[in-house]
Structure 1
Amino acid sequence: MCAAPGSKTAQIIECLHRDESNPIPSGFVIANDVDNKRCYTLVHQVKRLESPCFAIINHDASNLPNLKFNDGNILFDRILCDVPCSGDGTLRKNPDLWKKWNPGHASSLQSIQLRIATRGIQLLAPGGLMVYSTCSMNPIENEAVVGQLLQAFEGQISLVDISDKLPGLRTKPGLKSWCVIGKNQEIYNSFEEVPKNMQSLFRPNMFPPSNDILEQLHLERCIRLLPHYQDTGAFFVALFRKIDKLVDSSLSIQEETSQKRQVEENVFNEDGANFKRARYHRENPFIFFEEKDIKGFWQEISEFFGVHPSFPADQLMTRIASDSGRNIYFVSDSLKQIVTLNQDRIKFINMGVRLLVRTDLRNDKDKRSLRLAQEGIAIINNYFSKRRIQLEQQDLLLLLSHAHTQFANLSESVRNQIQNMSDDLGSLICLYNIKQHDLDIPIIFVSWRGRNSLRPFVSHSSRKFYFALCNIDSMTINEIIDKLTIEEKATNQKKDDNS
């Protein structure tokens, strides 16, 4: 719900793809953040995972609109509610925070934390799980919020004991008693101790409930990760399970303040939150291929690369007209439905995996005007049967060591495979299997076939990884990459001089 910058989102997407034999799993991840700029940081973080099963949206998490799906609204099986917090758990890695932090920050954040978590519970499917987490140790942001949720949704959610879920991880149970500390280090053990002129800052739900209620909440099922336990930062985690569908269609959580202020009610509608969207620049729409695109524009591409008939071409999309779009993306069927039904009311920032990229041959209205994108190689390898070459190790090392490799320098086997193809310029799929400890490790990457050479589209970091798999020592790898960088700069300079 508050996904940027994206490290946790990336881990969730990796879990979704734990079965490497299935590049298009049935599930999907919706990552949201209220900050438009941070959404693009999130895009940068997750696009490296090359998944067709994620979408990034830009909304206020406390007022997140329902997503239409099939005949109703989506209720999620799993929700991560990693809310904005005072961040005192990150002081070790963020020493600048010492200058700004004070214990009073928590009191100003609890309200939004509670609203976001409440909306998360409403979007959770019966039997589903929601993690509430912060990187703070202040109980106002942690146990106080958890306790308020359990009381507000009494009988409809429960707190799951997760103390034994990660054996070997040293944790501390959630607190059952705490005091509230103000900005100037003043300490209050109960709301009655708070001066009237301060009651606008501190609310009753920031303090521990009565002992009778406390025993029913089981706050000890939360876990606290303390920095000195594992030489880490500090973290708080609570896991909720939704027992059943919410009894009421709406829920009011009252935040009691001083007598001078009226009780503020935050009403969250189970059937749909008020739709408010930040006013940023308008995103280009996502345009899916229609029947005319599949039978016309896509047909020639499909024949050129030998795309299997089972490939779901209707799940391809662009941000502008399909016959002139710079990039062509692929998304899962579920995400296609979500976008189609919600694009007019949800601000989608990014989704899916890039499959094809428009080349400099834009004026050629044929298959050569598009090249395969390395990001989509898992899907490409499953469905594209033509223009594939099997490399020998000497070919692999040669291609990875240079920006361009002449055909004459490749092995006879590879030269014969290229010769047996059509003479068309365009993308090729290069394959090589490394055998290590009775395991076959496939290396698959995209190259461009020129008139006399091959150009691999492989990042420097991936090249280093492939070299390491081939048992090349790190010093040699760094020397190769340094020479490659010089070679690429010279090639780019030559292009600039000729343009």
Structure 2
Amino acid sequence: MGGKGRGGRARTQRKHFRDNRENVWKRPRPDPNSANDNDKDGNGNGNGKPWEPFESQSPAFNEYYKEQFIVTAEEWDTFIEVLRKPLPAAFRINSSGQFCEEIRAQLQNDFMKSLQAEVTEGDEAVAIRPLPWYPDNLAWHSNFSRMQLRKNQALERFHEFLKLENEIGNITRQEAVSMVPPLFLDVHPNHYVLDMCAAPGSKTFQLLEIIHQSSKPGSLPDGLVVANDLDVQRCNLLIHQTKRMCTANLIVTNHEAQHFPGCRAHTNLFNASASGSEVKPHNTQLTFDRVLCDVPCSGDGTLRKAPDIWRKWNSGMGNGLHGLQVQIGMRGASLLKVGGRMVYSTCSMNPVENEAVVAELLRRSGGSLELIDVSNELPQLVRRPGLKKWRVRDRGVWLASYKEIIEGRQSVAIPSMFPSGRGRKNQADNNDNSELGVNHLDGSIGSSVDVSEPIMDPVDGFDEVCEFPIERCMRIVPHDQNSGAFFIAVLRKIAPLPATFEKQTSKSSNDRSRCKLPQTIADGESVEVDAAVGMDESSSEAGIISNNQGEPSSADKPACELPVHDNKDADGLDTNAGDSEAKLVDNEVDENNLEVAAIKIYSEESKQPDDGEVDPTKSSAKRKLQIQGKWKGVDPVVLFNDETVIDSVKTFYGIDESFPLVGHLVTRNSDTNHVKRIYYISKSVKDVLELNFSVGQQLKITSIGLKMFERQSSREGSSAPCLFRISSEGLPVILPYITKQILTISPVDFKHLLQYKSVKYADFVDSAFGEKASNLMLGCCVVVLGTGTNTSSDDIKVDSSTIAIGCWKGRASLSVMVTAIDCQELLERLSNRLENDL
């Protein structure tokens, strides 16, 4: 298998070399020893042209944003000048990390002073500083770009500090404006939070920090974070990023955001559990207290860190994504609890992707959503109000309203892109679902606001003006605070979303099937409104292209041993397993056709993950549960209930009965005899997982819980009384409940253990500790850092300052079971403390 995979990749790589594909991010520089840069053998780029820096201007960009007035004419030059400068580095301290206070003190007392000499003329007055708008000085702005940090030898110590602490998880390197949306979510530790488009995971990590911030050692918050992304590879990046958090309150899923499953269970299909009790109402549907919709966008707010966007920017990029953004926003609103808060955000400056989307969300919600005024929150954050009016550009023509669109372009520039969101007068008054009388995004008709004629600005008399308080949105522009650009809107759900029927368009040439929606929706059951609408021709022409992919064959879906309430229909189809993945694809930009979108979203038509296959013999309210099989390419999630192994672990480590293990352990392998890793999940994650089982595994879970135990693979480990060791990630959670195989070590011996990785029992400075360690049972043990030279106390009290590591008690020595970088971090963090104790 390995050879086959490598061969496939090798063929792909050979093809790329043969085609001489350009890498726009790493252009080779010319050879300084060459006499002629234009010589193919002299300039190093193989194309006969001298090396040139990235293009840092775009006439189309200038024309577009000057017309939209996102900044005044007087400040335009400053705006562009800052956009062309590299983005300063920024990072955030993990507020729930053990060394949070020490890292903040090190930045304030060490690096702020030592780096000051590196500030050059024309730069900011200080080298690094805390961001004034971020609470508790936990986010920092560096006056140096990432390139400067890598290249300047004088900054090497600071750069190494950032790399080490980032890898450990004590800090997260993140663009400053990207930190803003989670702050406006107002997350509490008991909240269920959904991050709909989560990769690469910086915001997810930030949400987890807030969830865990007030947790005590050994306790887990009541809330959770569900982090979703549509691409499996990006999910892997997301998992790697959030793994540093060491949390049992995270679920990572792989779905198209606009089709995210609602996991609504019909209690009449399984109204009794094994104990005979009915399913509790709050466990029959997955809804969230907070939803973050940081949607896919054209990304021109990131020009300072991604300068290649300059050369390929065109207005069609934003037009092509508008429909998808509305769909994701409506799906997020439908999954939001009444009273909950949702943040819609993009890293784009385009009003078609920002204000127009928010206005359409408000329009569709029929008063169920309100735009919150958050001007009093984070008062030191410099932000600008949302635009009340904007224009749409199509094929080089500026359009002030939908009525100006030429024949044949109605499916590209659609009504919701304009401030009023309305079509032509005779269309808005008709309720006949004609081709131009519907909203081309989902086929829905009309609005809660009767606006047959576009609202006109009394001053201009030409442009439409949005009827909603869209100025409550905020736009962050680069030159206000030396940052990137971002757009944020904060919405509150004040009532269930209105139910509508999605009617088929009789004039549709391909007779696409549509998903009907319920006529009435009770509180907490609004998750199926606008869940997964079919895409029509407007989506295709605007850059959203449907991809009709068939269901995977039954051979690709092996059975999985998971608890189900109804698995009698062994021939049922897995209606979700064929959920296609959305992909981002760059188009070549045609200079004569500016509406060509740079991003295409592939999604399966008429897919509504909430619904299984309808049994024709039963009412439409009832659904068949899918076969309990694996999602293609994703390992199953299996509850681990092997009593023999669990009892062995509890006995060996003396785990207190107050720490729940049964029902909180999962694996990704249904064969318990070959389980290598056991994960621990919080109660909130357990509740969601049980709901997911009961509705036929609608959630495609790529990662869940916290790695708690790992099987010993060494020869000596196989002979130990307990086959499983405690992982470094899970140790902080289980530490307060361990009563056996745990010792306190003096600072000097702890330092030696970290330095040498393995120490013989007779070589410990504290001979009493060496003797105690040698008397432990063979296998994993825990060593807790003590104070002074006293290690005789058997009463180990754990608090937020307790430092402990996992070790292996061998026959002749004690060895650490943490990575080299973890050892380096502990030595760095504890150097002052250890020196004082010696």
Choose the corresponding residue for 1:398, options 740, 745, 752.
Answer: 752
- Give the distance between the partners of 1:383 and 1:75, measured in 2 at CA: 33
* Amino acid in structure 1 at the alignment position of 2:819: S
Q: Deviation digits for residues 142-174 of structure 1, max 9, x if unmatched?
A: 000000111111221100112221121111111
Aligned twin of 1:305: 653
Aligned twin of 1:194: 405
Aligned twin of 2:742: 388
User: In the comparison of the two structures, how many residue pairs are matched?
Assistant: 462
Q: Relative CO higher for 1 or 2, CA cutoff 8 Å, sep ≥ 6?
A: 1
Between 2-11 and 205-214, the greater mean CA deviation after superposition: 205-214
Aligned twin of 2:782: 429
Contact 2:321 2:353 in 1 (8 A): yes
Residue aligned with 1:233, SS: coil
Contact 2:371 2:469 in 1 (8 A): yes
- Structure 2 vs 1, CA of residues 191 and 42 (structure 1 numbering), >3 Å: closer, same or farther? same
Q: Deviation digits for residues 383-406 of structure 1, max 9, x if unmatched?
A: 222111212111221122123222
Shift of 1:117: 0.5
Q: Deviation digits for residues 200-234 of structure 1, max 9, x if unmatched?
A: 32112111114489575111111111111221111
Choose the corresponding residue for 1:286, options 637, 642, 665.
Answer: 637
- Structure 2 vs 1, CA of residues 356 and 157 (structure 1 numbering), >3 Å: closer, same or farther? same
Contact 2:758 2:813 in 1 (8 A): yes
- Give the distance between the partners of 2:515 and 2:371, measured in 1 at CA: 23
Contact 2:373 2:472 in 1 (8 A): yes
**In the alignment, structure 1 residue 350 sits paired with structure 2 residue 699:** no
- Structure 2 vs 1, CA of residues 260 and 100 (structure 1 numbering), >3 Å: closer, same or farther? farther
Aligned twin of 2:54: none
Q: For the aligned residues, what is the CA RMSD?
A: 3.1
**In the alignment, structure 1 residue 442 sits paired with structure 2 residue 814:** no
- Structure 2 vs 1, CA of residues 302 and 263 (structure 1 numbering), >3 Å: closer, same or farther? closer
Higher helix share: 1
* Amino acid in structure 2 at the alignment position of 1:442: T
Aligned twin of 2:214: 19
Aligned twin of 2:243: 47
- Structure 2 vs 1, CA of residues 259 and 203 (structure 1 numbering), >3 Å: closer, same or farther? farther
Aligned twin of 1:159: 371
* Amino acid in structure 2 at the alignment position of 1:303: T
**In the alignment, structure 1 residue 224 sits paired with structure 2 residue 475:** yes
Contact 2:286 2:688 in 1 (8 A): no
Aligned twin of 1:59: 255
- Give the distance between the partners of 1:123 and 1:244, measured in 2 at CA: 12
Larger Rg: 2
Contact 1:55 1:335 in 2 (8 A): yes
- Give the distance between the partners of 2:751 and 2:763, measured in 1 at CA: 12
- Give the distance between the partners of 1:203 and 1:67, measured in 2 at CA: 32
Q: Which runs of 5+ in 1 are unaligned?
A: 474-499
Residue aligned with 1:41, SS: helix
Aligned twin of 1:488: none
- Give the distance between the partners of 1:217 and 1:325, measured in 2 at CA: 56
- Structure 2 vs 1, CA of residues 114 and 102 (structure 1 numbering), >3 Å: closer, same or farther? same
Residue aligned with 2:244, SS: helix
- Structure 2 vs 1, CA of residues 268 and 353 (structure 1 numbering), >3 Å: closer, same or farther? farther
- Give the distance between the partners of 1:271 and 1:188, measured in 2 at CA: 35
Aligned twin of 2:492: 241
**In the alignment, structure 1 residue 417 sits paired with structure 2 residue 772:** yes
* Amino acid in structure 2 at the alignment position of 1:304: F
- Give the distance between the partners of 2:674 and 2:510, measured in 1 at CA: 58
Q: Which runs of 5+ in 2 are unaligned?
A: 1-195, 266-279, 421-453, 457-463, 519-525, 533-574, 582-630, 789-798, 834-838
Q: Which residues in structure 2 correspond to 1:365-376 (within 5 Å)? A: 367-376=721-730
Choose the corresponding residue for 2:762, options 408, 411, 419.
Answer: 408
- Structure 2 vs 1, CA of residues 56 and 425 (structure 1 numbering), >3 Å: closer, same or farther? same
Shift of 1:301: 1.5
Q: Deviation digits for residues 326-357 of structure 1, max 9, x if unmatched?
A: 00110012222322332432211111000111
- Structure 2 vs 1, CA of residues 102 and 472 (structure 1 numbering), >3 Å: closer, same or farther? farther
- Give the distance between the partners of 1:271 and 1:107, measured in 2 at CA: 27
Shift of 1:12: 0.5
* Amino acid in structure 2 at the alignment position of 1:53: N
Residue aligned with 1:374, SS: coil
- Give the distance between the partners of 1:136 and 1:460, measured in 2 at CA: 41
Report runs of 4+ in structure 1 exceeding 6 Å deviation. 258-269
Shift of 1:68: 4.5
Contact 1:374 1:458 in 2 (8 A): yes
* Amino acid in structure 2 at the alignment position of 1:326: K
- Structure 2 vs 1, CA of residues 456 and 177 (structure 1 numbering), >3 Å: closer, same or farther? same
- Structure 2 vs 1, CA of residues 259 and 173 (structure 1 numbering), >3 Å: closer, same or farther? farther
- Give the distance between the partners of 2:517 and 2:207, measured in 1 at CA: 27
- Give the distance between the partners of 2:322 and 2:752, measured in 1 at CA: 58
- Structure 2 vs 1, CA of residues 370 and 453 (structure 1 numbering), >3 Å: closer, same or farther? same
Contact 2:392 2:400 in 1 (8 A): yes
* Amino acid in structure 1 at the alignment position of 2:734: I
- Give the distance between the partners of 2:396 and 2:750, measured in 1 at CA: 64
Aligned twin of 1:144: 356
Contact 1:254 1:266 in 2 (8 A): no
Contact 2:224 2:684 in 1 (8 A): yes
Q: Could you tell me the TM-score, scaled by structure 1's length?
A: 0.85
Q: Percent identity?
A: 35
Residue aligned with 2:248, SS: coil
Shift of 1:252: 5.4
- Give the distance between the partners of 2:517 and 2:471, measured in 1 at CA: 28
